[in-house]
């Protein structure tokens, strides 16, 4: 029996005890034999403060599963029982799942559940209980069934949240949106620097980093995540929305590639050890589901939002990237990889699968800019190893031109329409057509967009900086657009996020920018909007942001009581 079928039956009429038994923990989530409701454990003696110091979070939603996360802060205790209850209603009266897990020192007291939930495409509310306390109430949402007809979905797209560079006003604004199906975080969720390094000098006392030194060890990385998760704006965003995350470089160190990083020196020890520590902490602290039980480095994965879109989350950083080139001709080396052979094969298979199942949109969530960024474009000639414009950032796909050509060739060869590329990393807002050779008039027409194979939306940073002033940003835009025919708009100054509004007819990106990140302030303004119509594979400007979704579930309420009153 399929799990989905089983759930349909149980959801229809069997008590929650059967459901609870389906998924008390990630280990037991595959066992489908119903049994009685698990006995609630007895809690150890505890007289400390509220142990839910780092909030709650959810992520990697599937049609009937979602990762639900919390952490217990209770010094000198270990193996601490944590109860999770999931409810189908805002009032927490209809419990659909109850399970127990244990917060253990070997996982930094983080706890992840992967409960089986009865309904697809449904908002759930959840709450943890441990050591006599209730956690804040969380809200999450399952995604539609794989082949369900879906008319409308909406995602927020975020990246680059550097704590000492500013307040997380962006997270707060995203938290306040009721009608999001999920939040994509495209990486640079934390930064690895020590106190005062890559920070706003005016915020050093308000937002000091912990630990104060560059993070190297497992303990360091765990502390850094704990610092970020102590931020109330970030906590609120996690509390209200399921996240779908991939790492970028700063989750390990600046400009990471598979065997090193620009910001790693031999005096800091073995890079592989550092990478292992960073990845372990990532899995402990982020609401992410392991793709394979014994392979933490593999995080590329996909999500089927009914027949509306397939979301393919990529790792262009760690799993397969060769070192960034230093010379232009190296960027054309056919042996150099950005995704690595295995991930590239997986991606091509996923594109084929997504196309075959009839998904309308094929969305790639990834880190670095796919479209070229050049100082002047000339036609590209791969056989002469020249042309294509002078590239200025070899950390992007520009440094891996045969990898890019393979991907774009595949999209073209498959005659695959409706590929959307979502990008972070560069702390700025960009809207671009994606063409195999944008500087070649015979291949791409900058005025009509003809010759474009896909579109790319680049989300600005949550807090990390780019151009120091708006004037410089405008100057750069005035220079870059003529030099890059596929580039339609760029803003290098503002922090913000994208709301991606997806219907069968069009996929639209609305950029919202916040006023400031130097103080906690919740003012945002609509910046720009571009859309692509189904089958067009090119951008067109829109004048206003998308209207709110017609139906949206209420945000999770603030918890009335934190003390559970249970025996402790």
Binding site for other proteins (CB under 8 A): 334, 341, 345, 348, 352, 381-384, 402, 405-406, 409-410, 412-415
Q: Which two tokens stand for residue 177?
A: 């949106």
Q: How far is the CB of 339 from other proteins (least distance, A)?
A: 13
Distance CA 138, CA 117 (A): 15
Q: Which residue is listed with tokens 């982020």?
A: 286
CB atoms inside a 10 Å sphere around CB 476: 17
Q: How far is the CB of 319 from other proteins (least distance, A)?
A: 16
Q: How far is the CB of 344 from other proteins (least distance, A)?
A: 8
CB atoms inside a 10 Å sphere around CB 8: 14
Q: Which two tokens stand for residue 141?
A: 């949402």
Contacts of residue 413, defined as CB under 8 A and 6 or more positions apart, other chains included, come to none
Q: How far is the CB of 308 from other proteins (least distance, A)?
A: 24
Q: How far is the CB of 275 from other proteins (least distance, A)?
A: 23
Contacts of residue 7, defined as CB under 8 A and 6 or more positions apart, other chains included, come to 19, 22, 64, 116, 117, 118
Shorter beta-carbon distance to other proteins: residue 199 or 408: 408
Q: How far is the CB of 108 from other proteins (least distance, A)?
A: 37
Shorter beta-carbon distance to other proteins: residue 91 or 341: 341
Contacts of residue 435, defined as CB under 8 A and 6 or more positions apart, other chains included, come to 371, 408, 443, 444, 451, 452, 453, 486
Angle of helix 271-285 versus helix 218-229 axis, rounded to 10: 30
Q: How far is the CB of 296 from other proteins (least distance, A)?
A: 23
Shorter beta-carbon distance to other proteins: residue 161 or 343: 343
Shorter beta-carbon distance to other proteins: residue 334 or 471: 334
C-alpha distances out from residue 297 to 60, 202, 276, 349, 515, Å: 16, 37, 8, 20, 37
* Phi and psi angles of residue 462, each rounded to the nearest 5 degrees, phi first: -65, -45
- Give the SS3 label for residue 107: helix
Shorter beta-carbon distance to other proteins: residue 254 or 355: 355
Q: Which residue is listed with tokens 């196309």?
A: 355
Q: Establish how many alpha carbons lie within 13 A of residue 540's alpha carbon, considering only the half-sphere containing its beta carbon.
A: 10
Q: Which two tokens stand for residue 215?
A: 């993070």
Shorter beta-carbon distance to other proteins: residue 415 or 551: 415
Q: How far is the CB of 359 from other proteins (least distance, A)?
A: 17
Shorter beta-carbon distance to other proteins: residue 33 or 413: 413
Shorter beta-carbon distance to other proteins: residue 386 or 472: 386
Handedness of CA 483, 487, 491, 495 (dihedral sign): negative
């Amino acid at each position: 029996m399929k799990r989905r079928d089983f759930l349909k039956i149980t959801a229809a009429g069997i008590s929650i005890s059967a459901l609870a038994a389906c998924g008390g923990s990630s280990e037991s989530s595959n066992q489908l034999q119903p049994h009685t409701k698990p006995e609630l454990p007895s809690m150890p003696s505890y007289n400390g403060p509220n142990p839910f110091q780092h909030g709650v979070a959810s992520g990697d939603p599937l049609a009937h599963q979602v990762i639900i996360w919390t952490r217990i802060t209770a010094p000198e205790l270990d193996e601490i029982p944590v109860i999770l209850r999931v409810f189908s209603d805002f009032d927490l009266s209809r419990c659909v799942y109850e399970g127990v897990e244990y917060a253990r020192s070997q996982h930094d007291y983080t706890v992840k559940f992967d409960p089986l939930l009865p309904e697809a495409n449904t908002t759930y509310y959840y709450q943890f209980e441990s050591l006599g306390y209730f956690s804040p109430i969380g809200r999450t949402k399952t995604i539609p069934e794989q082949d369900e007809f879906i008319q409308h979905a909406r995602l927020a797209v975020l990246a680059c949240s550097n704590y000492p560079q500013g307040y997380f006003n962006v997270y707060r604004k995203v938290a306040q949106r009721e009608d999001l199906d999920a939040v994509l975080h495209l990486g640079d969720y934390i930064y690895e620097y020590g106190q005062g390094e890559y920070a706003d000098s005016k915020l050093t006392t308000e937002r000091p980093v912990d630990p104060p030194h560059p993070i190297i060890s497992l303990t360091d990385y765990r502390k850094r995540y704990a610092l970020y998760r102590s931020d109330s704006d970030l906590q609120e965003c996690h509390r209200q929305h399921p996240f779908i995350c991939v790492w970028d470089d700063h989750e390990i160190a600046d400009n990471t590639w598979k065997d090193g990083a620009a910001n790693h020196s031999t005096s800091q020890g073995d890079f592989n050890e550092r990478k292992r520590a960073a990845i372990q902490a990532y899995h402990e602290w982020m609401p992410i589901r392991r793709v394979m039980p014994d392979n933490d480095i593999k995080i590329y994965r996909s999500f089927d939002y009914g027949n509306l879109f397939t979301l393919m989350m990529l790792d262009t950083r760690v799993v397969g990237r060769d070192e960034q080139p230093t010379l232009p001709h190296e960027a054309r080396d056919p042996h150099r990889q950005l995704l690595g052979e295995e991930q590239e094969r997986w991606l091509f298979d996923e594109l084929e699968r997504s196309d075959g199942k009839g998904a309308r949109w094929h969305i790639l969530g990834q880190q670095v800019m796919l479209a070229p960024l050049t100082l002047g474009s000339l036609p590209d000639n791969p056989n002469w190893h020249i042309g294509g414009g002078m590239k200025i950032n070899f950390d992007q796909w520009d440094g891996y031109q045969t990898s890019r050509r393979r991907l774009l060739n595949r999209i073209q060869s498959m005659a695959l329409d409706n590929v959307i590329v979502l990008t972070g990393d560069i702390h700025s807002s960009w809207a671009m057509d994606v063409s195999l050779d944008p500087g070649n008039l015979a291949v791409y027409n900058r005025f009509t967009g003809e010759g474009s194979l896909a579109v790319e939306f680049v989300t600005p940073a949550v807090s990390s900086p780019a151009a120091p002033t708006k004037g410089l940003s405008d100057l750069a835009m005035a220079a870059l657009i003529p030099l890059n025919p596929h580039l339609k708009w760029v803003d290098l100054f503002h922090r913000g996020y994208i709301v991606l509004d997806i219907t069968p007819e069009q996929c639209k990106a609305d950029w919202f920018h916040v006023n400031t990140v130097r103080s906690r302030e919740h003012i945002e303004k609509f910046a720009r909007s571009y859309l692509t119509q189904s089958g067009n594979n090119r951008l067109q400007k829109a004048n206003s942001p998308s209207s709110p979704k017609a139906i949206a579930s209420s945000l999770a309420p603030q918890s009335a009581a934190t003390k559970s009153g249970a025996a402790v």
